[in-house]
Chains A and B, each alone.
Chain A
Amino acid sequence: MKYVDEFRDPKQAKKILKEIEILCLEIELSEDRPIQIMEVCGGHTHSIFRYGLNQLLPKKLDFVHGPGCPVCVLPRSVVDNCISIANNKDVIFTTFGDAMRVPGSKQSLLDLKAEGADIRMVYSPLDALTIAKNNPEKRVVFFGLGFETTMPSTALSIMQAKKIEVNNFYLFCNHITIIPTIKAVLDSPGMRIDGFLGPGHVSLIIGTKPYDFIADEYHKPLVAAGFEPLDILQSVWMILKQLKNGEAKIENQYKRLVLDDGNASALDPISEVFELRDFFEWRGLGSINHSGVKINNKYRDFDAEVEFKLKEVTVTDPDVCQCGEVLKGILKPWECKVFGKECTPEIPLGALMVSTEGACSAHYSYGQNIDLINKK
């Protein structure tokens, strides 16, 4: 097996795979369907496809690719707002590379850049802050997105801007929070997920305790997992063991980085700068209560929503897009009508095709060559 050989420890991987197979046979579901494990995080989706794990695991086990790719769940209205900010002549608009290609209702940031707007890809919000320092006559906006993993970095950059009195730096805050999102998935009608692979790097920040309700109230197992193939296999095995024993616990496979209480030094800046929004509009999932954060009053001078007087508008996705169904695990990526036809990573129609962490793009890029390898 080619893919197993690339694992950190092939022997170990083969052993776990064997045990997973046995466990799958032993687990009895009340209905005739595969065991469904949702990987919440886009990083996991990427690893699963990158290593062809879905091809190695028994047919009776199914990965449902969750909503944890921050770029994939950006609603079109947010992209439209980015465009309207970046269209100001005195603005330098900065963002992570992935966000540049997300389609808005008329164009993406990349399209606007091609028309001459000053839009720059940065690696870190600190780079955006440096651009602001070096261009005092411009308004420099950083488009902040991501779950709790990226929140401390944005928060600390804003705190730094305040400290060194850079007053031409603004954050367009579109950070989202993991707990209400998982709750929304659990509450969605027709939900058939048996267990969760918990996002490793989000857990590094928030710890594992916030997940307790998943076990206590919904009786589903969650295992906080690392990103390497063996991490994922081991976590799947841990979930299956719980399922077999009829248990629902929160476990931590990624102990080498994740503490149950999280990282206080990273949580402090989050609570210093942000407050919960009443709701946040997700692409494909609709509005989820308390699932996003915004800048609080203390830092409002740095809030792009205030500075550019942005309005909340809802723009629906094109009718042919089935991103919502894919995000909820109701449809497989290839079951979307436009998958690989009108919608490809080169010309994405839906957001799940944009980032390599998106289910559709990962499937498109890796799914096919893995099928080829299997046929050989």
Chain B
Amino acid sequence: MCLGVPAQIKKIIDADNQIALVDLSGVSREINIACVLNKDYQAQDLIDKWVLVHVGFALSIVDEEEAQKTLKILAEIGELSAAIEDIKQGSK
């Protein structure tokens, strides 16, 4: 349950309630972005940024290269598909 997965922010769905849409290897999911907003980062600044997603919340911003490497490793050890299954589960 403590596995964080990098995903890319595609769209801000509801700036007021801090909800964005991310793409994780082709799966879309709404996540909460409150923990990555501060005076330097407003919701709109986050589009196309990569974030570490943990139980539906972006916990930090990661650089793209870092995100890709992590995804590759997760895929290699077969944990990416499990994570994606979990994420799909919630959006039902």
The answer to whether residues A124 and B59 also contact, given A42-B2, A355-B1 and a CB cut-off of 8 A, is no
Question: Contact at B56–A160, with CB atoms within 8 Å?
Answer: no
Most buried by A among B1, B36, B62: B1
Question: Contact at B52–A41, with CB atoms within 8 Å?
Answer: no
Number of interface residues of A (CB under 8 A): 41
Question: Contact at B66–A123, with CB atoms within 8 Å?
Answer: no
Q: Scoring B residues 16 to 32 as 1 if CB is less than 8 Å from chain A, else 0, what string do you get?
A: 01000000000000111
Q: Which of B68-82 contact A (CB under 8 A)?
A: 69-70, 73, 76-77
> DSSP class of B's interface residues: helix, strand, loop or mixed?
mixed
Bound-state CA distance A355–B2 (Å) is 11
Q: Which of A219-251 contact B (CB under 8 A)?
A: 228
Q: How far is the CB of A181 from chain B (nearest CB, A)?
A: 15
Q: How far is the CB of A65 from chain B (nearest CB, A)?
A: 14
Is B54 in contact with chain A by the CB < 8 A criterion? Answer: yes
Q: How far is the CB of A208 from chain B (nearest CB, A)?
A: 14
Is A10 in contact with chain B by the CB < 8 A criterion? Answer: no
Question: Contact at A265–B52, with CB atoms within 8 Å?
Answer: no
The answer to whether residues A266 and B38 also contact, given A42-B2, A50-B77, A160-B17 and a CB cut-off of 8 A, is no
Most buried by A among B2, B30, B35, B52: B2
Report chain B residues within 8 Å CB of A338.
none
Is A269 in contact with chain B by the CB < 8 A criterion? Answer: yes
CB contact between B32 and one of A153, A228, A263 (< 8 Å): that residue: A153
Is A205 in contact with chain B by the CB < 8 A criterion? Answer: yes
Question: Contact at B32–A96, with CB atoms within 8 Å?
Answer: no
Question: Contact at A96–B89, with CB atoms within 8 Å?
Answer: no
Bound-state CA distance A164–B54 (Å) is 23
Is B37 in contact with chain A by the CB < 8 A criterion? Answer: yes
Question: Contact at B59–A126, with CB atoms within 8 Å?
Answer: no
Question: Contact at B86–A97, with CB atoms within 8 Å?
Answer: yes
Q: Which of B1-53 contact A (CB under 8 A)?
A: 1-4, 17, 30-32, 34-38, 52
Report chain A residues within 8 Å CB of B77.
6, 50-51
Bound-state CA distance A228–B56 (Å) is 22
The answer to whether residues A123 and B86 also contact, given A153-B56, A257-B60 and a CB cut-off of 8 A, is yes
Is A212 in contact with chain B by the CB < 8 A criterion? Answer: no
Q: How far is the CB of B41 from chain A (nearest CB, A)?
A: 9
Bound-state CA distance A164–B17 (Å) is 10
Question: Contact at B2–A265, with CB atoms within 8 Å?
Answer: no
Question: Contact at B1–A156, with CB atoms within 8 Å?
Answer: no
Is A104 in contact with chain B by the CB < 8 A criterion? Answer: no
Bound-state CA distance A7–B76 (Å) is 10
Bound-state CA distance A201–B55 (Å) is 12
Is A71 in contact with chain B by the CB < 8 A criterion? Answer: yes
Question: Contact at B60–A263, with CB atoms within 8 Å?
Answer: yes
Q: How far is the CB of A59 from chain B (nearest CB, A)?
A: 25
Bound-state CA distance A98–B30 (Å) is 22
Q: How far is the CB of B54 from chain A (nearest CB, A)?
A: 6
CB contact between A263 and one of B3, B30, B59, B62 (< 8 Å): that residue: B59
Bound-state CA distance A256–B67 (Å) is 11
Chain B residue at minimal CB-CB distance from A98: B1
Bound-state CA distance A228–B52 (Å) is 14
Q: How far is the CB of A188 from chain B (nearest CB, A)?
A: 23
Bound-state CA distance A17–B65 (Å) is 25
Report chain B residues within 8 Å CB of A121.
89
The answer to whether residues A123 and B54 also contact, given A257-B62, A357-B1 and a CB cut-off of 8 A, is no
Residues of A participating in the B interface, judged by any CB pair closer than 8 Å: 6, 8, 41-43, 50-51, 70-71, 96-98, 121-127, 146, 149-150, 152-153, 156, 160, 163-164, 201, 204-205, 228, 256-257, 263-266, 269, 355, 357
Q: A124-B90, A150-B55, A156-B35 provided; 13 other pairs, C-beta below 8 A?
A: A8-B69, A43-B3, A71-B1, A123-B90, A124-B56, A149-B54, A150-B1, A150-B54, A153-B32, A156-B34, A204-B60, A257-B60, A264-B38
Q: List 5 A-B contacts (CB under 8 A).
A: A70-B2, A123-B91, A127-B90, A146-B2, A152-B35
